[in-house]
Structure 1
Amino acid sequence: MEPVLQPWDDSQTIAKAKITSRASIRIFEKYPLKEENVTTLFSPEEMAGGEPEELYKLCRQLLNVWKYAIFFQPKPENFANLLQESNYPAPVIKGILEAYSSETIAELVESLASCSNSNIPRVISTDWTCRAVARRNNHTSSDREATLTLSTDQGVKQVNLSAKELEKLYWTVSKVQESLDGLLER
């Protein structure tokens, strides 16, 4: 389900750039974050003298904004225009754009892009060796094997492929290459 940018809540009383930026950075640091957990963003000492419920209300609104921004990654100008169309106050837009141009969101987007939700390791690099299979009495046969070494984010994995598996892999890779070539020709 695609995130939708909610319009500014007019009952929101906090409309300051510095608070918006600081709350946004806290959201990035704990992302992914559920709405019910926004109360964990700030310690009680940081809330002394403030209005916790108003800040948490702002954080809930910002969490929605950041879900949208992370999903669509709009250009800053387009993002600012969209926020203006949704009636966000100028100081809040300024704070959002400050956070949007920070290194913290770049790191967050990079970490989200590199994680796998399928629990399948992400391949970083590959290497392979091919050899003839030795049979009885040290006579080589016509069978071939390949050892594919995959460096992944979960360590090194080795896969031994028979001649049939190697041929199947070759044709699969060829199909993928054809598809990529087709995309590049567009």
Structure 2
Amino acid sequence: MEPILSEWDDSQSIVKSKITNRASIRILERYPLKETDVETLFEAEEMAGGEPEELYKLCRQLLNVWKYAIFFQPKPENFVELLQEKNYPPPVIKGLLEAYTSETTAEVVERLATASHSAIPRVLSTDWSCRTVTRRNDVATSDREAILTFSTVDGVKRIELSGRDLEKLYWSVNRVQTSLDSLLER
């Protein structure tokens, strides 16, 4: 489901650039978050007599803005235009733009791009070695084997492939390569 940039809530009493920027950075540092998590962004001492519910209301609105911005990644000038169309006040736009052009936003996008949601660990590097087995249990044979070593975010995984497994892998890789070649010829 694609996020939708909501209209500015006119009942919002906090319209300050600095608060918007600080709340945005906190959201981005902990992104992805749920709406129920916005109340954990600020400690009670940081509110210093402020209105916590108004701050949380602003954070919920900002969370929606950041979902949209991270999903679509518009250019800064387009992002400003979109916010203006949705009636965001200039101080809020200024705070959002400062956060949007910060390194924090780029880090979030990079982190999300490299995250795996398939429960399969992300591969960092691979290594392989081949060998020929000439004797097994005092029976002379000649069989090929390969050992694939994957360094993943969950540690090192080793997979031993027999000659038959190597052949299957070879044909699978060939099918993938043929598909890529046909896409590149278009």
* Partner of residue 100, structure 1: 100
Query: What SS does the corresponding residue of 1:67 show, helix, strand or coil?
Result: helix
Gaps of 5+ in 2: none
1:33 matched to 2:54? The reply is no
Distance in 1, matches of 2:12 and 2:89, equals 10
* Partner of residue 15, structure 1: 15
Shift of residue 176, structure 1, vs aligned partner: 2.4
* Partner of residue 42, structure 1: 42
Question: 1:77 and 1:176, CA in 2 relative to 1: closer, same or farther beyond 3 A?
Answer: farther
Distance in 2, matches of 1:31 and 1:92, equals 20
1:155 matched to 2:159? The reply is no
Percent of matched pairs sharing the same residue: 73
* Partner of residue 169, structure 2: 169
- The within-5 A match list for 1:13-162 is 13-136=13-136, 141-162=141-162
State the Cα RMSD in Å: 1.9
Shift of residue 184, structure 1, vs aligned partner: 4.4
Question: 1:100 and 1:47, CA in 2 relative to 1: closer, same or farther beyond 3 A?
Answer: same
1:60-108 CA distance string (max 9 Å, x none) = 0000011111112222122111111111111111111110111122222
Preserved CA contact (<8 Å) 1:132 1:141: no
Distance in 1, matches of 2:163 and 2:30, equals 48
Distance in 2, matches of 1:123 and 1:14, equals 45
Shift of residue 121, structure 1, vs aligned partner: 1.0
Distance in 2, matches of 1:86 and 1:185, equals 44
Query: What SS does the corresponding residue of 1:14 show, helix, strand or coil?
Result: coil
Q: Which amino acid aligns with 2:65?
A: V
Q: Which amino acid aligns with 2:176?
A: V
Distance in 2, matches of 1:180 and 1:165, equals 23
Runs of 4+ more than 2 Å apart = 136-142, 174-186
- Tell which deviates more after alignment, 37-46 or 19-28: 37-46
Query: What SS does the corresponding residue of 2:128 show, helix, strand or coil?
Result: strand
Preserved CA contact (<8 Å) 2:149 2:156: yes
Preserved CA contact (<8 Å) 1:132 1:140: no
Q: Which amino acid aligns with 1:30?
A: R
Preserved CA contact (<8 Å) 1:27 1:63: yes
Question: 1:140 and 1:81, CA in 2 relative to 1: closer, same or farther beyond 3 A?
Answer: farther
Query: Scaled by the length of structure 1, what TM-score is found?
Result: 0.91
Shift of residue 24, structure 1, vs aligned partner: 0.3
Distance in 2, matches of 1:178 and 1:101, equals 41
Query: Scaled by the length of structure 2, what TM-score is found?
Result: 0.91
Question: 1:122 and 1:76, CA in 2 relative to 1: closer, same or farther beyond 3 A?
Answer: same
